[in-house]
Structure 1
């Protein structure tokens, strides 16, 4: 059925019978006739469009006729634009009355009088109800409105808009000074305010340089004056007499022979740590240690990171038997009793090499560099300890002769290292020494050293990171043990010094000591050619002894007494004694 153009369709005026039926079914005062049904009314205004719904109506014995359903004079969106007083009011009607029977024989008249307003689910009594679809649609709209109202989107948007508007530019604002009344007034004396009791301000004192915590040690010889003694007091007679007495015995009076491995392992088990064998010898972290070769008493020395040297007579139980001396300005990187004359204790710091002579109670200066931070380690080149090889932090090495007057070296040689941490001389062939640097470990011949770049005799390969130490085995020098920052301990066979040597064995070992601990140095036990000692980061704290094959022989530990990492360790040359130094200046002595 084709619809006429918008604005041309006019609703048909209701018949008197239809009007009567609507009046009878509508309560008084609740129903309004649409404008189109009013007598004499013009119906829909000109130019307004009607919304018509065509719904087929099934009638018994007749074909389906399309019925027109008028939704409103201003239906849909047009209803919102209807003039005031022209809107269609839909009110809920009372319960429907019984359907009105159609008069007999008036089918054609019924169809002619119907204008489509009583179609679909709208009752014949004039109640304008919505269809099922529209009721469902209105229900969905109501539920959605309640849902969005529960989300409070409008309130959140308003708050967000307010936050955006209140946001300020990223500018650094100066803090507002506190009000005077809010501050707590601190009471200060007139002396601190520098005000005279009479009220006259005192004159300002000239600025004075801040006093150094550790006064600089002057160049030249230094008297052996302990820190706990007076300024002009002499070295205690008991310490002087003890050191001189034990130094009269030759350290190498007996030949060192390798002992049986089983007997050696049993001797390690017999060494224990007790409370009276632990003492704070120096004030700060231990950087080096040495043990006197005497067989009568246990006499040890330690050097810390601030240049102090501590001497401790372990055999004496008196507390005052540990004395501290300030011999250097920088960390004591290496120290050793002279193998020829144990009355001499040699120590090296960043700026100087000194010899502590107990017979004269003085620290002599053997070698001083122009650069205050340069020296790293040293070792003796001959049995009488008259010459020494000294390593530099910048990679060079120097040959020093103690018999030559002055503090200058005999030779400074460039070995091609960027850093030299340790140097060690071959125990049999004294002309060879090994140097450990950043990632290089090489053997050189001191007889062919020159000031220019020198070629190594042999290179020990395999290190991927910086090397902390490298030492020959004590009796034959046929082994070299190194400690590397790649968490490996490596042992090399140096029986024949070929140009390139690969590792004989490798041991996985945690060498990550950090900045607050001295780096590990694996040292050989002078009593056993094929065994070395090294500190450990493992818990419980311990000191480990390895065989050159990589086998762990023994671990020194004590849950009650050893609670720290002993980075620096040294073994007695003839007795079953092990000394370990930690980061707080304490020495731990394991003994039988």
Structure 2
């Protein structure tokens, strides 16, 4: 008996274990391993039945053996039933965790199929050998931290041969899939799409209340309704034409009596003023001009020394006209210092600086109704002051007879500038704002011009005659500068002899040098002063120098006009926007020569400046009618 029992035990020990391979259809499904576990051999062979179950509807207490199996077991099986039942429940809890509830139905069917195959195979083994006891247990990977020291799950090494890292990765994939499935993102996205697709209800437009036809209107004045208290309409009152007064009415044609606006005509001061002009008219300026022409130009060093000696004081600053000064002229007398200024209001102011106090030496006249843009003392008679205005009139103030004579008048056009074609001031060239020019002969009776020529310019700002070859004159337009020959002017020919097209913006003025006419200086809004070589008047005049200078005065200040010094024709004088306020002198080569600074006496911009032909006297006018005089 003992020998047969020992042989049976050896057979049982040498018997190979039953192995069941798991079904791998989806890598996200946990592996199921079924293997026989060697246990204590009992007297009878127990039978194990595998029943299909669902993962989604699993409950821990659901997996129980049928009562029929319990009834068939012997008393020896009852002793180990509790142990086996506890072991099965523990294994099932590891397999069926709450996270597996969201597994797809495909995984459930796969697991059921594998369970049925295992049940059939176990029955086959049971039929062959009834003396062996086989207990099938289902194990699942458990790679949680702290499950085992080696980080592996028993039962997986024999089948898959996966490393701990791969097992942990598979577990993480499964847990992430279950987590996202539990969030129900697809359902939330579907609900959001439905909410977006829903059309928003159109905005309800507010309905305007309908006006009642019989609604009573507001009360109105019977005077506004033009009815009397009884309700009868009043007759319409005849409307009288409203006479709008012209701000700048034209003065009557013909000569105007010279009456001062700030003095009494019968006062002793005014009579003395007229007597002074009569004495000045006796001075012959022909000799002085010939002497200055023959005289050579002084050196720049001596010229600078004379300019440094010119100063300004409170006695040489005074407000002469009303409004901005548009033009200025200095009387050529060497005995008296007489300054003339033309204002925007049409006034002409005269200031005798040799008279003290200075208030008594100022006289204001009104020969024009619009801005006086050009002033010249006659080269033939220094007692005559010619003034040109925007109002289309050119007048000559004769202080010996106290009258303003009318030289030329054209009410259909506006004048901009003029100059003398002849040295005796008998003929003049007048520029119009519309681009036309007039040749005026003062020897003919009346005030009609001899010729009216339309130039190629759209506008003419300044006109200046060559000091030596007086048949040539230069005109400054908007962007171009033209030089004409007065002998070739006729209505059919408008082409100039020379055109200077180097300017890029609006031009303010263009003047020949005073003694020889060999240079031309132009002032442009592009902040450049240009000097051209006009020594040989041909088809082209070369550009000599370009001087950078700020010429932007704005709309409230009179525009700058660079002019030549009659004593030193290689130097130009121009106002400045720099602080402190000043008047600057430049050489024709572009070098700075001198700056006239006045401190508190010169606190504004002098846009218009003029130099005495023989003395070192500079007069500058600003945009408020004030004159500043620098003198030795």
1:296 positional shift:
1.6
1:518 to 541, 553, 558: 558
Deviates more, 1:313-322 or 1:469-478: 313-322
d(CA) in 1 for partners of 2:393, 2:478:
22
d(CA) in 1 for partners of 2:500, 2:273:
44
Segments ≥4 residues shifted beyond 4 Å = 53-63, 65-74, 102-123, 131-141, 164-169, 203-208, 210-215, 229-235
**Residue 369 in 1 paired to residue 410 in 2?**
yes
Cα distance, 1:139–1:567 mapped onto 2, change above 3 Å: farther
Where structure 2 has 5 or more consecutive residues not aligned to the other structure, the ranges are 1-27, 39-49, 60-77, 100-173, 185-199, 208-217, 219-236
TM-score (norm 2): 0.64
Cα distance, 1:132–1:301 mapped onto 2, change above 3 Å: same
Cα distance, 1:104–1:393 mapped onto 2, change above 3 Å: same
Partner of 1:480: 520
Cα distance, 1:502–1:108 mapped onto 2, change above 3 Å: same
Partner of 1:31: none
1:400 positional shift:
0.8
Partner of 2:252: 218
Partner of 2:587: 547
Partner of 1:244: 278
Deviates more, 1:520-529 or 1:209-218: 209-218
d(CA) in 2 for partners of 1:342, 1:331:
23
1:70 positional shift:
6.1
Cα distance, 1:252–1:246 mapped onto 2, change above 3 Å: same
**Residue 359 in 1 paired to residue 394 in 2?**
no
1:132 positional shift:
8.5
Partner of 2:616: 576
Cα distance, 1:354–1:62 mapped onto 2, change above 3 Å: farther
d(CA) in 1 for partners of 2:281, 2:389:
24
Deviates more, 1:411-420 or 1:325-334: 411-420
1:306 positional shift:
1.9
d(CA) in 2 for partners of 1:241, 1:66:
146
1:302 to 333, 341, 344: 341
CA contact (8 A) 2:345 2:370 kept: yes
1:315 to 335, 354, 365: 354
Structure 1 residues 83-102: aligned runs within 5 Å: none
CA contact (8 A) 1:460 1:503 kept: no
Partner of 1:39: none
Cα distance, 1:300–1:369 mapped onto 2, change above 3 Å: same
Report SS of the residue matched to 2:321: coil
* Residues 363-386 of structure 1: CA deviation (Å, up to 9, x unaligned): 111101131x42111111122111
**Residue 436 in 1 paired to residue 471 in 2?**
no
d(CA) in 1 for partners of 2:310, 2:203:
78
Cα distance, 1:544–1:107 mapped onto 2, change above 3 Å: same
The number of residue pairs the alignment matches comes to 455
Where structure 1 has 5 or more consecutive residues not aligned to the other structure, the ranges are 1-52, 75-101, 124-130, 142-160, 170-179, 181-202
Structure 1 residues 407-422: aligned runs within 5 Å: 407-422=447-462
d(CA) in 2 for partners of 1:570, 1:451:
35
Partner of 1:259: 298
d(CA) in 2 for partners of 1:578, 1:382:
27
* Residues 162-189 of structure 1: CA deviation (Å, up to 9, x unaligned): 9x969999xxxxxxxxxx9xxxxxxxxx
d(CA) in 2 for partners of 1:103, 1:287:
133
CA contact (8 A) 1:271 1:577 kept: yes
* Residues 6-57 of structure 1: CA deviation (Å, up to 9, x unaligned): xxxxxxxxxxxxxxxxxxxxxxxxxxxxxxxxxxxxxxxxxxxxxxx97679
Report SS of the residue matched to 1:244: helix
d(CA) in 2 for partners of 1:565, 1:139:
85
1:546 positional shift:
1.0
1:563 positional shift:
2.0
d(CA) in 1 for partners of 2:51, 2:98:
15
Deviates more, 1:489-498 or 1:573-582: 489-498
User: Which has more radius of gyration?
Assistant: 2
Report SS of the residue matched to 1:516: coil
CA contact (8 A) 2:264 2:270 kept: no
Cα distance, 1:139–1:397 mapped onto 2, change above 3 Å: same
**Residue 387 in 1 paired to residue 427 in 2?**
yes
Q: Higher helix share goes to which structure?
A: 2
